[in-house]
Amino acid sequence: MRLILLGGPGAGKGTQAAKLKEHYGIPHISTGEVLREARAAGTELGKKAAEYMDAGKLLPDNIILGIVSDKMDMPDMKNGFLFDGFPRTIPQAKGLDKILQEKGQALDSVVSIDVNDGIVIDRLLKRSEIEGRADDNRETIENRLKVYYEQTEPLKDYYKGCGLLKSIDGVGTVDEIFERIKAVLS
């Protein structure tokens, strides 16, 4: 199973990705998580990432594609994977197509978790209280939503054009949403 989870900030991608990883037994790659780890470790990548993340901006496509390309070379990625938070721009999607083509692989599905903005802002402000993520303050959240609509939402049309897009309603309990995702994948 080769999957992409699409959705704006706070759509529940991370929560669902953890369940899908377990259910399908595939590795889960979150580019946001990779960047947070680099940041915590104080690496050069982490220092650069911090500036973009705190402003709610996307990192340059070449940096992200470099990270993904390295991950795709790992042996456990051979039989399937789940990306969450990647791709986020059309050039990233095209870059992924190229990486997969070179490996003779293809995506199975792209699942878009759709949630409206009001719900997302409330969810993210709550998450900031629980997890203390630096980019979950109101100003950064609003920026991340703007960036999502400008740069990431066009991916839905891109993947619709490839016949891969499956959209689900992201409002409900964690289990309800998980059932919806499994249903569109089966």
The catalytic site residues sit at 13, 88, 127, 133, 144
Read off the tokens for 183. 């249903």
Q: Does 64 bind ligand AMP (CB under 6 A)?
A: yes
| Among 53, 93, 168, 181, interactor with ligand AMP by CB under 6 A | 53
* Closest of 99, 122, 110 to residue 154, by C-alpha: 110
Q: Does 59 bind ligand AMP (CB under 6 A)?
A: yes
- Helix, strand, coil: what percent of the chain each, to 5? 60, 10, 25
Using CA of residue 62, residue 17, residue 156, residue 163, what is the dihedral sign?
Answer: positive
* Closest of 29, 18, 104 to residue 64, by C-alpha: 29
* Closest of 82, 96, 113 to residue 178, by C-alpha: 113
x/- map, 93-132, ligand AMP, by CB under 6 A: ----------------------------------------
| Among 32, 112, 168, 180, interactor with ligand AMP by CB under 6 A | 32
| Among 26, 58, 113, 181, interactor with ligand AMP by CB under 6 A | 58
169 strand-pairing partners: 114
For ligand AMP, the binding residues (CB under 6 A) are 9, 31-32, 35, 52-53, 56-59, 64, 85-86, 88, 92, 135, 144
